[in-house]
A and B are shown apart, each in its own frame.
Chain A
């Protein structure tokens, strides 16, 4: 009985749930989702693979030809690499829709000359 008032009120109110594919929730600006490298500025110091708790980052090559392989499916989105990076080349994007159809798509390669990730980053 106690909830009767609330039920009646809700009859007139707009539902709070969103129709996901058409209406999308706007992420909060401080959100810590997928991580992205600006490979040109990377100096290949190798700190980020060390500090990553789930070994989601692999560094190949040294110095200015270093290239990063980023395993998105292993990443915890903890942001340790963002904090540790001396030249601030790693940034957290606000892209949180990370569902992929195949495992291959989740590994992203940051090549030196042209940033041509083998797999398409977003598949939707």
Chain B
């Protein structure tokens, strides 16, 4: 008999409220119905009522972990409309900070997946090592999370030599820890038991459902905005796009761990040939008429910002599409067929950042009444959609 289990919105496995209504019969998941909108803040509407400079700090707070990716994307779009060129040193600093944020994000994610699997030691260790990156980010930008380093026209703080030397020490430790976790996750039988063959996403489905980031790269498709559409200093820095073709959570772990090692080498290369010069270009307050699309490879995947300006100092339209929203349809596909025990591991597999995924409508949903789960007209949205395919 099929029981309907609400996975979320309040659930120990979820850091943020999202609701998957899973139809389950004896441990097998039959269908999943996502429901977002629980922490919706209407950032896009608010962005239209603020100047570009104030928007920077609004866009930065879309997501706590990948805030730098959002701000880089937004400022690049506005710079494109203004068609100004930021100084090369600012490009390198943006690349360095983007890669440090990727390292910090992947360590956090590793701990989260470990916690979902019940492997609390991995959670404690990886969050301890994340402190190394956060300390470095604090020395560079003065803040651990929303760094407020980025502005339209460049970067607000320069990287001084003392910071570089502490950066190098930190990178060696991070590299050694990432290698250690790769060895643990590849050899530990319980970890493999819970991740190999779990949450499978075949390459065709990944392409069809427009998956992004490590989720699609773990299904063997090498799609990475840093290589396809290089921004900041990525066209001058040699790096490798990491793909695994295991299509399951185990290969997603491996992709992210390799990306940490790749980010370490990118930062080292960027630090060695950091061009000198100033880090910021003065920018007029009014942005001329025009529109721009900018893409950035956030730690979770391809991040898109669309800005349309009409000559005043407030944007007409700011469209933000965060990587997690693109990964939710593939996630529903992955969950079907697995067992209940796999749901948290698979959900954590795509590293959901719900705060990113839903920031379009206006009202926060404090008035959301309790979801009465025995609503008869609950349409099996995923079921109907699969029958159609």
A contacts B: CB pair < 8 Å:
yes
A74-106 near B? 1/0 per residue, CB < 8 Å: 001111100100000000100000000000000
Within 37-80 of A, Cβ neighbours of B (below 8 Å) are at 51, 53-54, 76-80
With an 8 A cutoff between CB atoms, is B286 at the interface? no
**Would you give the shortest CB distance from B82 to chain A, in whole angstroms?**
19
The reply to whether B121 and A80 form a contact with Cβ atoms under 8 Å apart is: no
Q: Give the total number of A-B pairs whose CB atoms are below 8 A apart.
A: 55
Within 107-155 of B, Cβ neighbours of A (below 8 Å) are at 121-122, 125, 128, 131, 135, 138-143, 146, 148
Closest A residue to B189 by beta carbon equals: A1
B contacts with A, residue count (CB < 8 A): 28
A53 is contacted by which of B57, B139, B180 (Cβ under 8 Å)? Answer: B57
With A2-B187, A3-B188 known to touch, is A32 a contact of B143 (CB < 8 Å)?
A: yes
Closest A residue to B61 by beta carbon equals: A76
Give the residues in chain A near B10, CB-CB below 8 Å: none
CA distance A1 to B192 in the complex (A): 12
CA distance A80 to B54 in the complex (A): 10
Within 39-57 of B, Cβ neighbours of A (below 8 Å) are at 50, 53-54, 56-57
CA distance A92 to B139 in the complex (A): 14
The reply to whether B142 and A3 form a contact with Cβ atoms under 8 Å apart is: no
Q: Please report whether the interface of chain A is mostly helix, strand, loop or mixed according to DSSP.
A: loop
With an 8 A cutoff between CB atoms, is A23 at the interface? no
With an 8 A cutoff between CB atoms, is A16 at the interface? yes
Within 1-32 of A, Cβ neighbours of B (below 8 Å) are at 1-3, 6-7, 16, 28-32
Interface, chain B (partner A; CB < 8 A): 50, 53-54, 56-58, 121-122, 125, 128, 131, 135, 138-143, 146, 148, 156, 163, 180, 183-184, 187-189
Sample (15) of A-B pairs whose CB atoms are under 8 Å apart: A2-B184, A2-B187, A2-B188, A6-B125, A6-B180, A28-B139, A28-B142, A30-B139, A53-B54, A53-B56, A53-B57, A53-B58, A78-B57, A79-B148, A83-B156
